[in-house]
Amino acid sequence: MSALLEAREATKVFGGGLFDKRVTVALDDFSFAIESAPPRVTAIVGESGSGKTTLARLLLGLITPTSGQILYEGHDLQKLAGHDRRTFLRDVQMIFQDPYEVYNPFYRVDHVLETPITEFKLAASPAARRALINESLRAVGLRPEETLGRYPHQLSGGQRQRIMVARAVLMRPRLIIADEPVSMVDASLRATILDSLRQLNQQYGMSIVYITHDLTTAFQISDDIIVLYRGAVAEAGEVDLVVRHPRHPYTQLLIKSVPEPNPEHAWGSVEIRPEAADLEDGAAQVEVSGPVGLLPTGVAASVAAKAHGGHLLTGCTFADRCPYVMPMCHESPPPLFRIDPGRAATCFLYRDRPALASEELNQVMAAERGATAR
Ligand code: SF4
């Protein structure tokens, strides 16, 4: 059976005009499938320039991959038309980082809830429409009588974001892609919104892709996690394994940045943010001699790459920060190694384990849970 939504060896590069041969590799040879059952919450975690927002836009069909494919139920997303396209637009909903940008300030907030009901013919009568809106608002902890009839500026950021979650609820999608949904709300509302997302997963059977720079909230609500670094998977697998027993040096660095030594106390109370230097680095840049459209899959990792600082990188993109760097790390890019049944990492430290092709990450993510870290 085809996956609900799948990135298959997807690479996205930007730039590479006629006179400037440098391109930015935002996502490099990324494969990941979201199965329709059982519904799971998968976190995509990364700092600025890791490729997570590019991935979200690819999964939504807002941009096209430079190479590779995005498939919806086995069909190329870019070729979907007619009924299939409408089904996709209903099945896959997005929750954005800044809810205010989604609202038209001249319309009452009712408008964002009524429009999809009309567009997708979700209610047969005005009474059914009102019942659907009320149910959706209550599902995210909002009181209809205190919410409807107001303009966006009359509501708090948290209320506006919860309305966007309610909008997703009334569409009854099979998958929600939430891109940094709590990064612009204060800490007290963060938990409420995350609870709402978790409820959608558990009560309504919706799968969630939770995109964030914040490992703490990813740990709180996810079943699985994919840690991205400069457009490629650093470590991925069952969230407890990856967060409590990180194996990739980059994941270990992220976990260590939690100031509280006892992770039982730290999670949920401390937000892990990328260091200032990380924010400046951004995605890997490479210099190419041919048209961008002809770039092979795996370009960032497999061709001579010119990154920030002017160094030629032919190996691991984390080598310049890694405390365990070895000569071989500079010679060729590490493949994914399967460390546990439910976890893999892209690091030569685990070269005695089975190496995987990028598309085999799906087998790791689908592995029977309960594996223990060694
Ligand atoms: Fe560090 Fe080498 Fe592993 Fe890269 S492959 S994370 S440089 S040990």
* Residue-wise burial string across 167-191, b where 16 or more C-beta atoms lie within 10 A, e elsewhere: bbbbbbbbbbbbbbbbebbeeebbe
Query: Which tens digits make up the pLDDT trace of 144-175?
Result: 999 999 998 898 888 888 898 899 888 889 99
- Of residues 277 and 218, more confidence is placed in 218
Write down the pLDDT at residue 248. 97
Query: Which tens digits make up the pLDDT trace of 8-58?
Result: 999 998 876 666 667 788 898 899 999 878 899 999 999 888 899 899 999
Q: If you measure from the C-alpha of residue 356 to the centroid of ligand 1, how many angstroms do you get, rounded to a whole number?
A: 16
Q: At what angle do helices 157-171 and 126-139 cross, to 10 degrees?
A: 120
Q: If you measure from the C-alpha of residue 346 to the centroid of ligand 1, how many angstroms do you get, rounded to a whole number?
A: 8
Instruction: Output Rg (C-alpha) for the chain, integer angstroms.
Output: 21
Ligand 1 close to Cβ of residue 333 (< 6 A): no
- Do 65 and 28 meet the contact criterion of CB atoms below 8 Å apart? no
Residue 252 and residue 299: Cα distance in Å, rounded? 26
Residue 72 and residue 120: Cα distance in Å, rounded? 19
Minimal-distance CA residue to ligand 1 atom 6: 347
Helix (H), strand (E), coil (C) string for 83-139: HHHHHHHHHEEEECCCHHHHCCCCCCCHHHHHHHHHHCCCCCCHHHHHHHHHHHHHH
Among 185, 27, 199, CA closest to 98: 185
Q: If you measure from the C-alpha of residue 77 to the centroid of ligand 1, how many angstroms do you get, rounded to a whole number?
A: 35
The distance from CA 127 to its chain's CA centroid, rounded to whole angstroms, is 37
Residue 46 and residue 130: Cα distance in Å, rounded? 39
Among 329, 371, 363, CA closest to 346: 329
**What is the pLDDT averaged over residues 229-254?**
94
- Of residues 216 and 187, more confidence is placed in 216
Q: If you measure from the C-alpha of residue 347 to the centroid of ligand 1, how many angstroms do you get, rounded to a whole number?
A: 5
Domain ranges of the chain: 1-99+175-374
- Structure tokens given for 148: 């409807």
3-state secondary structure of 64: coil
Write down the pLDDT at residue 344. 96
Amino acid code (one letter) for 201? N
- Do 137 and 143 meet the contact criterion of CB atoms below 8 Å apart? yes
Ligand 1 close to Cβ of residue 316 (< 6 A): yes
Write down the pLDDT at residue 285. 57
Within a 10 A sphere around the Cβ of 84, how many other Cβ atoms? 14
Confidence check: pLDDT of 312 > 50: no
Within a 10 A sphere around the Cβ of 37, how many other Cβ atoms? 10
Residue 165 and residue 310: Cα distance in Å, rounded? 44
Write down the pLDDT at residue 18. 64
Q: At what angle do helices 110-119 and 157-171 cross, to 10 degrees?
A: 10
Query: Which tens digits make up the pLDDT trace of 181-207?
Result: 888 777 777 888 888 889 889 988 999
Ligand 1 close to Cβ of residue 318 (< 6 A): yes
Percent of the chain, pLDDT > 90? Answer: 51
**What is the pLDDT averaged over residues 341-346?**
94
- Do 303 and 330 meet the contact criterion of CB atoms below 8 Å apart? no
**What's the Cα-to-Cα distance from 210 to each of 11, 97, 222, 266, rounded to whole Å?**
20, 11, 8, 20
Confidence check: pLDDT of 288 > 50: no
Ligand 1 close to Cβ of residue 227 (< 6 A): no
Q: Which CATH number fits domain 1-99+175-374: 3.40.50.300, 3.20.20.70, 3.40.50.880, 3.30.70.2860?
A: 3.40.50.300
Helix (H) or strand (E) holding 167: helix 157-171
Write down the pLDDT at residue 297. 40
Helix (H) or strand (E) holding 35: none
Write down the pLDDT at residue 276. 33
> pTM of the predicted model, to two decimals?
0.83
Which is it for the CA torsion 229, 231, 237, 238, positive or negative?
positive
Q: If you measure from the C-alpha of residue 318 to the centroid of ligand 1, how many angstroms do you get, rounded to a whole number?
A: 6
Ligand 1 close to Cβ of residue 334 (< 6 A): yes
Q: If you measure from the C-alpha of residue 357 to the centroid of ligand 1, how many angstroms do you get, rounded to a whole number?
A: 18
Looking up tokens 């979700």, which residue turns up? 122
Query: Which tens digits make up the pLDDT trace of 117-152?
Result: 999 999 999 999 999 999 999 988 899 999 999 998
